[in-house]
Chain A
Amino acid sequence: MTATRRGPGSRPGPGPLGGADQGAVAVETAISLLALVVVVVALVWGMSLVGAQLAVGEASRAAARAAARGASDPDVVAEARRTVAGAQVRIIRDDARVEVEVSAEAQPPGALSRLGSFALSSTATAAREPAVLP
Protein backbone atom coordinates (compact mmCIF):
# COMPACT_ATOMS: atom_id res chain seq x y z
CA MET A 1 0.00 0.00 0.00
CA THR A 2 1.12 3.49 -0.71
CA ALA A 3 0.19 6.40 1.44
CA THR A 4 0.08 9.10 -1.19
CA ARG A 5 -2.63 7.64 -3.36
CA ARG A 6 -5.81 6.95 -1.60
CA GLY A 7 -8.79 5.84 -3.58
CA PRO A 8 -12.30 4.93 -2.53
CA GLY A 9 -11.11 1.39 -1.98
CA SER A 10 -8.87 2.11 0.96
CA ARG A 11 -10.12 3.29 4.24
CA PRO A 12 -8.72 6.17 6.26
CA GLY A 13 -6.14 5.18 8.79
CA PRO A 14 -3.51 6.70 11.01
CA GLY A 15 -0.53 6.05 8.80
CA PRO A 16 0.79 4.46 5.66
CA LEU A 17 0.18 0.95 7.00
CA GLY A 18 -2.62 1.66 9.41
CA GLY A 19 -5.66 0.97 7.24
CA ALA A 20 -8.73 -0.80 8.57
CA ASP A 21 -7.78 -3.78 6.42
CA GLN A 22 -4.45 -4.06 8.12
CA GLY A 23 -4.12 -7.65 9.22
CA ALA A 24 -6.53 -8.89 6.59
CA VAL A 25 -3.64 -10.40 4.66
CA ALA A 26 -2.35 -12.11 7.80
CA VAL A 27 -5.74 -13.64 8.53
CA GLU A 28 -6.15 -14.71 4.94
CA THR A 29 -2.67 -16.17 4.96
CA ALA A 30 -3.49 -18.17 8.06
CA ILE A 31 -6.70 -19.55 6.60
CA SER A 32 -5.27 -20.32 3.19
CA LEU A 33 -2.17 -21.90 4.77
CA LEU A 34 -4.50 -24.22 6.62
CA ALA A 35 -6.24 -25.14 3.38
CA LEU A 36 -2.84 -25.57 1.76
CA VAL A 37 -1.73 -27.96 4.49
CA VAL A 38 -4.87 -30.02 3.92
CA VAL A 39 -4.17 -30.12 0.18
CA VAL A 40 -0.54 -31.11 0.75
CA VAL A 41 -1.50 -33.89 3.17
CA ALA A 42 -4.08 -35.19 0.68
CA LEU A 43 -1.49 -35.08 -2.11
CA VAL A 44 1.17 -36.88 -0.11
CA TRP A 45 -1.31 -39.54 0.86
CA GLY A 46 -2.47 -39.84 -2.73
CA MET A 47 1.12 -40.38 -3.80
CA SER A 48 1.59 -43.04 -1.16
CA LEU A 49 -1.57 -44.69 -2.51
CA VAL A 50 -0.09 -44.64 -6.01
CA GLY A 51 3.11 -46.19 -4.66
CA ALA A 52 1.16 -48.83 -2.79
CA GLN A 53 -0.83 -49.71 -5.91
CA LEU A 54 2.40 -50.05 -7.90
CA ALA A 55 3.76 -52.34 -5.19
CA VAL A 56 0.61 -54.47 -5.22
CA GLY A 57 0.88 -54.78 -9.00
CA GLU A 58 4.54 -55.80 -8.70
CA ALA A 59 3.61 -58.36 -6.07
CA SER A 60 0.94 -59.96 -8.24
CA ARG A 61 3.32 -60.18 -11.18
CA ALA A 62 6.14 -61.65 -9.12
CA ALA A 63 3.72 -64.18 -7.67
CA ALA A 64 2.40 -65.09 -11.13
CA ARG A 65 5.97 -65.57 -12.36
CA ALA A 66 6.58 -67.89 -9.43
CA ALA A 67 3.37 -69.77 -10.24
CA ALA A 68 4.43 -70.06 -13.88
CA ARG A 69 7.67 -71.65 -12.73
CA GLY A 70 5.62 -74.26 -10.94
CA ALA A 71 5.91 -72.97 -7.38
CA SER A 72 3.50 -74.36 -4.81
CA ASP A 73 0.73 -72.20 -3.38
CA PRO A 74 2.62 -71.28 -0.17
CA ASP A 75 5.64 -70.28 -2.25
CA VAL A 76 3.46 -68.11 -4.49
CA VAL A 77 1.97 -66.40 -1.43
CA ALA A 78 5.44 -65.91 0.05
CA GLU A 79 6.63 -64.37 -3.21
CA ALA A 80 3.75 -61.87 -3.18
CA ARG A 81 4.35 -60.99 0.48
CA ARG A 82 8.00 -60.37 -0.20
CA THR A 83 6.86 -57.25 -2.07
CA VAL A 84 3.80 -56.30 -0.04
CA ALA A 85 3.99 -57.51 3.54
CA GLY A 86 0.67 -58.75 4.85
CA ALA A 87 -1.03 -58.77 1.47
CA GLN A 88 -3.98 -61.03 0.83
CA VAL A 89 -3.23 -63.50 -1.93
CA ARG A 90 -5.82 -65.50 -3.80
CA ILE A 91 -4.70 -68.21 -6.20
CA ILE A 92 -7.15 -69.64 -8.69
CA ARG A 93 -5.96 -72.61 -10.67
CA ASP A 94 -7.82 -74.19 -13.53
CA ASP A 95 -6.43 -76.82 -15.85
CA ALA A 96 -4.53 -74.39 -18.06
CA ARG A 97 -4.08 -71.17 -16.11
CA VAL A 98 -3.22 -69.93 -12.70
CA GLU A 99 -4.51 -66.54 -11.66
CA VAL A 100 -2.97 -64.69 -8.74
CA GLU A 101 -4.84 -61.84 -7.14
CA VAL A 102 -3.00 -59.75 -4.58
CA SER A 103 -4.95 -57.25 -2.53
CA ALA A 104 -4.05 -54.93 0.30
CA GLU A 105 -5.73 -52.15 2.21
CA ALA A 106 -4.32 -48.65 2.40
CA GLN A 107 -5.22 -46.74 5.55
CA PRO A 108 -5.37 -42.95 5.56
CA PRO A 109 -2.84 -41.42 7.95
CA GLY A 110 -3.66 -40.62 11.55
CA ALA A 111 -7.18 -39.87 12.67
CA LEU A 112 -8.47 -40.00 9.09
CA SER A 113 -8.13 -43.78 9.18
CA ARG A 114 -11.57 -43.92 10.75
CA LEU A 115 -13.03 -42.70 7.47
CA GLY A 116 -12.30 -46.07 5.94
CA SER A 117 -9.58 -47.52 3.83
CA PHE A 118 -8.85 -48.03 0.18
CA ALA A 119 -8.76 -51.52 -1.23
CA LEU A 120 -5.90 -52.00 -3.68
CA SER A 121 -5.70 -55.09 -5.80
CA SER A 122 -4.01 -56.45 -8.87
CA THR A 123 -4.33 -59.66 -10.82
CA ALA A 124 -1.85 -61.48 -13.00
CA THR A 125 -2.37 -64.66 -14.98
CA ALA A 126 0.16 -67.28 -15.90
CA ALA A 127 -0.06 -70.54 -17.76
CA ARG A 128 0.36 -73.63 -15.63
CA GLU A 129 3.55 -75.45 -16.21
CA PRO A 130 2.84 -78.81 -17.82
CA ALA A 131 3.28 -81.59 -15.31
CA VAL A 132 5.43 -83.63 -17.67
CA LEU A 133 7.48 -82.05 -20.39
CA PRO A 134 6.90 -83.60 -23.81
Chain B
Amino acid sequence: MARRGLRCRLRRDDGAAVVAALALVAVLAVCALAIGAVATVVAARSRAGAAADLAALAAAPDALLAPAAACADARDVAAANGAELVSCTVADGDVVVVVRVRLPRASPLALLAGGAVPEAAARAGLR
Protein backbone atom coordinates (compact mmCIF):
# COMPACT_ATOMS: atom_id res chain seq x y z
CA MET B 1 0.00 0.00 0.00
CA ALA B 2 2.73 2.34 0.98
CA ARG B 3 4.54 1.50 -2.22
CA ARG B 4 1.52 2.26 -4.28
CA GLY B 5 1.06 5.64 -2.57
CA LEU B 6 4.69 6.50 -3.17
CA ARG B 7 4.41 5.61 -6.83
CA CYS B 8 1.39 7.85 -7.19
CA ARG B 9 3.22 10.73 -5.57
CA LEU B 10 6.25 10.20 -7.73
CA ARG B 11 4.14 10.20 -10.86
CA ARG B 12 3.10 13.79 -10.38
CA ASP B 13 5.81 15.93 -11.81
CA ASP B 14 4.95 19.28 -10.35
CA GLY B 15 7.93 20.21 -8.24
CA ALA B 16 10.36 18.66 -10.69
CA ALA B 17 11.60 22.04 -11.91
CA VAL B 18 12.09 23.26 -8.36
CA VAL B 19 14.13 20.17 -7.57
CA ALA B 20 16.26 20.73 -10.66
CA ALA B 21 16.76 24.39 -9.75
CA LEU B 22 17.69 23.51 -6.16
CA ALA B 23 20.20 20.98 -7.47
CA LEU B 24 21.72 23.67 -9.68
CA VAL B 25 21.87 26.08 -6.74
CA ALA B 26 23.62 23.40 -4.70
CA VAL B 27 26.18 22.90 -7.47
CA LEU B 28 26.71 26.66 -7.66
CA ALA B 29 27.13 26.85 -3.89
CA VAL B 30 29.80 24.16 -3.99
CA CYS B 31 31.57 26.07 -6.78
CA ALA B 32 31.41 29.26 -4.73
CA LEU B 33 32.85 27.51 -1.68
CA ALA B 34 35.65 26.04 -3.78
CA ILE B 35 36.49 29.44 -5.25
CA GLY B 36 36.36 30.96 -1.76
CA ALA B 37 38.77 28.32 -0.48
CA VAL B 38 41.15 28.95 -3.37
CA ALA B 39 40.95 32.69 -2.78
CA THR B 40 41.66 32.19 0.93
CA VAL B 41 44.78 30.22 0.15
CA VAL B 42 45.92 32.64 -2.57
CA ALA B 43 45.48 35.58 -0.22
CA ALA B 44 47.35 33.78 2.57
CA ARG B 45 50.19 32.89 0.20
CA SER B 46 50.49 36.44 -0.97
CA ARG B 47 50.36 37.67 2.63
CA ALA B 48 53.09 35.22 3.58
CA GLY B 49 55.28 36.37 0.71
CA ALA B 50 54.91 40.02 1.61
CA ALA B 51 55.39 39.35 5.32
CA ALA B 52 58.60 37.43 4.59
CA ASP B 53 59.94 40.19 2.33
CA LEU B 54 59.10 42.96 4.76
CA ALA B 55 60.44 41.02 7.75
CA ALA B 56 63.71 40.33 5.97
CA LEU B 57 64.03 43.97 4.94
CA ALA B 58 63.32 45.04 8.52
CA ALA B 59 65.99 42.70 9.85
CA ALA B 60 68.66 43.54 7.28
CA PRO B 61 70.02 46.77 8.81
CA ASP B 62 70.87 45.01 12.09
CA ALA B 63 72.11 41.82 10.48
CA LEU B 64 75.77 42.64 10.70
CA LEU B 65 75.99 44.13 14.18
CA ALA B 66 73.08 42.75 16.22
CA PRO B 67 71.72 39.46 14.88
CA ALA B 68 69.40 39.00 17.86
CA ALA B 69 67.84 42.43 17.37
CA ALA B 70 67.55 41.69 13.67
CA CYS B 71 65.47 38.60 14.34
CA ALA B 72 63.35 40.47 16.88
CA ASP B 73 62.62 43.09 14.21
CA ALA B 74 61.75 40.35 11.76
CA ARG B 75 59.39 38.78 14.27
CA ASP B 76 57.65 42.11 14.94
CA VAL B 77 57.17 42.99 11.29
CA ALA B 78 55.99 39.48 10.44
CA ALA B 79 53.44 39.67 13.25
CA ALA B 80 52.31 43.12 12.10
CA ASN B 81 51.56 41.55 8.74
CA GLY B 82 49.60 38.65 10.15
CA ALA B 83 52.35 36.06 9.89
CA GLU B 84 54.52 34.25 12.39
CA LEU B 85 58.24 33.81 12.19
CA VAL B 86 59.25 30.19 11.69
CA SER B 87 62.96 30.68 11.45
CA CYS B 88 65.44 33.48 11.23
CA THR B 89 69.07 32.88 10.45
CA VAL B 90 71.76 35.48 10.21
CA ALA B 91 74.97 34.67 8.40
CA ASP B 92 77.60 37.00 6.97
CA GLY B 93 75.37 40.01 7.15
CA ASP B 94 72.51 38.24 5.41
CA VAL B 95 69.19 37.47 7.03
CA VAL B 96 67.05 34.60 5.86
CA VAL B 97 63.58 34.52 7.33
CA VAL B 98 60.82 31.98 6.93
CA VAL B 99 57.32 32.95 7.94
CA ARG B 100 53.99 31.26 7.80
CA VAL B 101 50.40 32.44 7.80
CA ARG B 102 47.79 30.54 9.70
CA LEU B 103 44.35 30.58 8.16
CA PRO B 104 41.58 31.39 10.61
CA ARG B 105 40.65 28.05 12.11
CA ALA B 106 36.96 28.83 12.45
CA SER B 107 36.51 29.62 8.78
CA PRO B 108 34.82 26.85 6.77
CA LEU B 109 36.87 27.97 3.80
CA ALA B 110 40.03 27.20 5.74
CA LEU B 111 38.69 23.72 6.44
CA LEU B 112 38.03 23.26 2.73
CA ALA B 113 41.55 24.42 2.02
CA GLY B 114 42.77 21.39 3.91
CA GLY B 115 44.44 23.22 6.76
CA ALA B 116 46.99 24.76 4.43
CA VAL B 117 49.61 26.80 6.24
CA PRO B 118 51.36 28.85 3.59
CA GLU B 119 55.02 29.50 4.24
CA ALA B 120 57.33 31.90 2.50
CA ALA B 121 61.00 32.66 2.76
CA ALA B 122 62.92 35.80 1.98
CA ARG B 123 66.52 36.92 2.20
CA ALA B 124 67.89 40.37 2.68
CA GLY B 125 71.28 41.71 3.54
CA LEU B 126 73.66 44.57 3.35
CA ARG B 127 75.78 43.11 0.62
**Chain A residues with a Cβ under 8 A of chain B:** 1-2, 5, 7-10, 21, 24-25, 28-29, 31-33, 35-36, 39-40, 43, 46-47, 50-51, 53-54, 57-58, 61, 64-65, 68-69, 97, 99, 124-127, 129-130, 133-134
Which of B17, B24, B50 is A65 in contact with, Cβ under 8 Å? B50
In this complex, the member of B9, B12, B54 whose beta carbon has the largest number of chain A beta carbons within 10 angstroms is B54
6 closest Cβ pairs, A-B complex:
A127-B58, A32-B21, A7-B8, A61-B50, A125-B80, A28-B17
For A46, what are the chain B residues with a Cβ–Cβ distance below 8 Å?
A: 32
Whether B57 lies near A126 (C-beta < 8 A) is yes
Contact status B11-A134, CB under 8 Å = no
Least Cβ distance of B83 to chain A in Å? Answer: 11
Let me know if B126 and A9 touch, CB within 8 A: no
- The answer on a CB contact under 8 Å between A68 and B58 is yes
Task: Check if B18 sits within 8 Å of A54, measured CB to CB.
Answer: no
- 27 A-B pairs, CB-CB below 8 angstroms? A7-B8, A10-B12, A24-B14, A25-B14, A25-B17, A28-B15, A29-B17, A32-B18, A32-B21, A36-B24, A40-B28, A54-B43, A54-B46, A57-B47, A61-B46, A64-B54, A68-B58, A97-B77, A124-B50, A124-B81, A126-B58, A126-B77, A127-B54, A127-B58, A127-B73, A133-B126, A134-B64
**Which B54-73 residues sit within 8 Å CB-CB of chain A?**
54, 57-58, 61, 64-65, 73
- Which among B9, B17, B77 is the interface contact of A9 at CB below 8 angstroms? B9
CA distance A35 to B17 in the complex (A): 12
* Min CB–CB distance A75 → chain B (angstroms): 16
Are B53 and A28 in contact (CB-based, < 8 A)?
no
